[in-house]
Structure 1
Amino acid sequence: MDNASFIASLLAGAAAGTSTDLVFFPIDTLKTRLQAVGGFFANGGYFGVYRGLGSAVVASAPSASLFFVTYDGMKSFSRPTFDRLIPSNDQMAETATHMFSSSAGEVAACMVRVPAEVIKQRTQTHQSDSSWQTLKKLLKNENGEGVRRNLYRGWSTTIMREIPFTCIQFPLYEFLKKKWALATNRDQVAPWQGAFCGCFAGGVAAATTTPLDVLKTRLMLSHKSVPVLRLARQIYTQECWKVFFSGVGPRTLWISAGGAIFLGVYESVHSVLSL
């Protein structure tokens, strides 16, 4: 990746992440409250749906930039390797490239995203009045587990959710763009077409990975660390399997519409900066 491409991916990712969080934050709050222990109304209901916005806005630009810089860079780096490994199937090599690159991008983005998610979700469920107050509570280390473990609570589960999510979303997104461009005899789709492809791909990935999102939310909201399998068994035993799809409607709506804006803004800014 050359310097121009790096800067284009960096700025386009920052614009995409910030715009999506600002527009769809209330839906994310409703989803979090549906998934939290006690249910929707016990965690705030429809009141204060912008609680935690500060942490989301602060983290959205750097995390999205990290994702797209890594994603675009790894696509260029890894494609020759997959072409050698899968020489007889160009589509399979392309899909493997997108899966690998988007997974690497998610891991990089989670370095920023996970602490912001912990702060955001605790604020959304009224565990404090503001993102700043939540951060101060975590830094006090009242549970004795250490600041790092408190800020990165749910790290492994977030990665466990994001990799399947992105392995569905981005290969499907890139596949739809490629097919649409071929159908219209163009080298690439228009930004609005990219937004539509991102909307569809995001919705499919969101609905499929909702159970992992529920586990991630519960871990981030817990006072102390809990092994993932133990938590899953506990939820299943105490609350029934249906709870694993809590918030599937808001999550799918948020990520479908958010994917349209996120990837639409990314395509628009990237195309302008690449001229």
Structure 2
Amino acid sequence: ARSLRAPAARARRARRRPGRARMPPPSRVPPDADRARARRETRRDASSSATDRPPSFARSLRVGIASGACAGIACQLVLFPLNTLKTRAQAGGRLTADRLYGGVAAELLGAAPGTALFMSAYECAKSTLGLDPSIAAMLGALASSAVLAPMELIARRMQVSRLSLATAARLSARRGELFAGFGSFLARELPFDTIQMSAFEAMKRATLAIEGAADESGKKTKKKRALGKRQTAIIGGVAGGLTGLVTTPFDVSRTAHVCASSMGIDLKTHPKGLAGLKRLKERFGMSFFFRGAAPRALEIGLGGVIYFTVIETTRRYFESSSRETKDAKVLKTV
């Protein structure tokens, strides 16, 4: 009996001695794997925090300048013939197919810097300062008006006549008419940009919200932050077409100021503001304010497809390159 109790007693004494307790086996995970896992977690945290933070002023400025210049040039090169037909219809001229690109040089000279100014001001106001898209669009329109207004005036006069770029610019500058009808320009651009950008942002948020709800019902937890190219094109086309149709009267009023001599209007005696609109109505009738509505809606609708697709593609490119740069910096510090 004593020999049977001896092993049990030795086992109890061994458990009471802390020095002889059996230690747990060491971790078999190599240190390189721990370091790689920590690097991945740090990279993921840095990427998520970078996307949640509002973009810096410098980055918004770069995105705005690049996307605006590319979008402005692309729209003018593709859609300028429609703009020429619309301008001739509003000015009461014949809808001929000759010189459809007459004046495109002036538009390109204004479109690249003007649209870049608009988008840089819009991006900085909306993304960095957190302002509403409508207010950001107004600020962008004001910033770009000093460049777009005189170049548009020269281009439209070239569209309804056979003047060269140098001749049209020289005559307009000599007469002091480079900023003729600047009030009508702002009266058209401010509501146009406000409606178009607000409509696009509203439809964009609604589309992402609908897809987010569908993902949650389908047990998908990944949050979608950007539209696809097809969605961007459709939403941009709808926003542009509706805005172009609604703002046609403002565009006709602008054309009446810019192409006054071709329409038999004397700007020196023509009243300004609401009185000027009343005079145009008395002379040409109410239908005058909807001249060229169809080509304008088509032009701005197709322009919205190109414009917003180029802008969103450029923005995503800058976001991905900025994220890769930040990830590389994080990996160097880990």
TM-score bracket, shorter-length normalisation = 0.7 to 0.9
**Residue 259 (structure 2) pairs with residue 221 (structure 1):** yes
* Matches of 1:211 and 1:16, distance apart in 2: 25
Structure 2 residue aligned with 1:265: 310
Question: Is the 8 Å Cα contact of residues 145 and 186 (structure 2) preserved in structure 1?
Answer: yes
In structure 1, the partner of 2:228 is: 190
In structure 2, C-alpha distance between the alignment counterparts of 1:140 and 1:177, rounded to whole Å = 46
Q: Quick check: 2:248–2:290 contact (8 Å CA) kept in 1?
A: yes
Q: Which amino acid is 2:146 matched to? A: M
Out of 140, 165, 174, the position equivalent to 2:174 is 140
Match of 1:51 among 99, 102, 110: 102
Residue 180 of structure 1 pairs with residue 207 of structure 2: yes
Residue number in structure 1 paired with 2:242: 204
Alignment of 1:67-216 (within 5 A): 67-76=118-127, 78-79=129-130, 97-126=132-161, 128-141=162-175, 147=176, 150-185=177-212, 186-216=224-254
**Conserved 8 A contact 1:168-1:205:** yes
How many residues matched?
247
Gaps of at least 5 residues in structure 1 are 83-96, 142-146
Q: Over residues 191-219 of structure 1, what are the superposed CA-to-partner deviations in whole Å (9 max), with x where a residue is unaligned? A: 33222211101111111111111001101
> Partner letter of residue 214 of structure 1?
V
Contact 1:99 1:167 (8 Å CA) reproduced: yes
Task: Give the deviation of 1:270 after TM superposition.
Answer: 1.6
1:15 aligns with 2:70: yes
Q: Kindly provide the amino acid, as one letter, of the partner of residue 205 in structure 1.
A: T
Shift of 1:77: 5.3
- Normalised by the length of structure 1, the TM-score is 0.85
The answer as to 2:89 corresponding to 1:62 is no
Bigger radius of gyration: 2
Task: Kindly provide the CA deviation profile for residues 122-174 of structure 1, in whole angstroms up to 9, marking residues without a partner as x.
Answer: 00001x42222100111222xxxxx3xx1111111111111111222111100
Aligned mates of 1:208, 1:254 — CA distance in 2 = 13
Checking the alignment, whether the CA contact within 8 Å between 1:31 and 1:247 is kept in structure 2 is yes
- Give a deviation string over 1:71-114, Cα, whole Å, max 9, x none: 011114553xx7xxxxxxxxxxxxxx111110110111111110
Query: Structure 2: where are the runs of 5+ without partners?
Result: 1-55, 213-223, 262-266, 321-334
* Cross-structure match for 1:90: none
- Separation in 2, partners of 1:269, 1:234: 45
